[in-house]
């Protein structure tokens, strides 16, 4: 029997071990790699480049300190299952850029999760592949455009004068920055080049007198 390999990326070590345990009970012919942070991920990636399945927790995609992992997930052709509570607006945008094979909710019974993982592993024909677009429409998730329209442009840190220095295009980029999108994602949503987004972001930092996204995020949250 051919050995299958699964990579589990989840910051919760007990959850990683528990998932490996229940999957092994179903099939011993599975090899596991796991990581809870970037250092562990780098060590894992050195030993194995290709996986039959990657299972990743939503927190890895939604926090800013996992850039190396998210960059890998954007580029890989390995199928990915995301474990989450709900598909939030921010997560919904992230999923557009991944080779999604399925979404599993945290509240699902263990038996159901195991069955779905093995269903993904045994899926072969292209017609049976998971369609995130179909899932997206079924769940009736909001688009990024709808989301940014709801974000107020005013805040207590930036003065009105500073915001007036921004062009309309820079204001659009600032709305997406507040949502937490990466440059590549902003470029996709706005229909412009990533290099153009980088230029806008740099100009925004200069005009609002912040050094990086962290300072911008803190200022916007005030």
pLDDT tens digit string along 139-184?
A: 544 444 554 444 444 444 455 456 678 898 998 898 888 767 788 8
Contact 5, 48 (CB under 8 A): yes
Mark which of 90, 120, 139 sits at the end of a domain: 139
Contacts by 134-138 with C-beta closer than 8 Å and gap 24+?
Answer: 135/103, 136/92, 136/95
Residues 185 and 108 occupy one common structural domain: no
pTM of the model: 0.60
Structural domain tally of the chain? 2
Residues 213 and 168 occupy one common structural domain: yes
- The residues, ordered by sequence, that sit 6+ positions from 61 with a Cβ below 8 Å of its Cβ are 70, 73, 82, 91, 94
Residues 49 and 101 occupy one common structural domain: yes
- Measured in residues, the chain has a length of 222
User: Which of 173, 152, 166, 176 is CA-nearest to residue 208?
Assistant: 166
Residues 129 and 148 occupy one common structural domain: no
- For the segment 51-70, the average pLDDT, to the nearest whole number, is 86
107-150 pLDDT tens trace: 888 888 888 888 888 774 344 445 555 555 555 444 445 544 44
Q: Alpha-carbon distance 187 to 202, whole Å?
A: 14
Q: Alpha-carbon distance 22 to 44, whole Å?
A: 21
83-96 pLDDT tens trace: 999 888 888 878 87
CB atoms within 10 A of CB 152: 8
Mark which of 89, 114, 139 sits at the end of a domain: 139
Q: What is the pLDDT of residue 88?
A: 86
180 three-class SS = coil
15-58 pLDDT tens trace: 999 999 999 888 888 889 999 998 899 888 888 878 889 999 99
Residues 51 and 103 occupy one common structural domain: yes
Residues 117 and 198 occupy one common structural domain: no
Looking at per-residue pLDDT, the higher value among 77 and 132 belongs to 77
Contact 129, 123 (CB under 8 A): yes
Which range marks the domain in which residue 185 is found? Answer: 144-221
CATH number at 149 reads 1.10.10.10
Mark which of 84, 113, 139 sits at the end of a domain: 139
């Amino acid at each position: 029997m051919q050995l299958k390999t699964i990579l589990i990326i989840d910051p919760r070590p007990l959850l990683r071990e528990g998932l490996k345990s229940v999957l092994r009970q179903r099939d011993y012919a599975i090899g596991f790699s796991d990581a809870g942070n970037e250092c562990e991920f780098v060590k894992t990636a050195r030993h194995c480049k290709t996986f039959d399945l990657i299972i990743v927790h939503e927190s890895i995609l939604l926090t800013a300190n996992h850039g190396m992992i998210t960059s890998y997930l954007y580029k890989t052709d390995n199928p990915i299952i995301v474990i989450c509570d709900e598909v939030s607006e921010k997560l919904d945008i992230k999923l557009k850029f991944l080779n999604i094979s399925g979404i599993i909710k945290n509240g699902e019974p263990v038996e159901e999760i195991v069955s779905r993982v093995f269903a993904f592993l045994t899926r072969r024909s292209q017609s049976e592949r998971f369609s995130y677009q179909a899932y997206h429409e079924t769940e009736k998730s909001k688009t990024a455009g709808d989301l940014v329209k709801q974000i107020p442009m005013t805040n207590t840190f930036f003065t009105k004068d500073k915001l007036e220095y921004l062009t309309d295009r820079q204001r659009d980029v600032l709305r997406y920055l507040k949502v937490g999108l990466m440059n590549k994602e902003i470029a996709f949503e706005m229909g412009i080049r990533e290099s153009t987004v980088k230029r806008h972001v740099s100009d925004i930092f200069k005009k609002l007198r912040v050094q990086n996204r962290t300072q911008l995020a803190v200022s916007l949250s005030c």
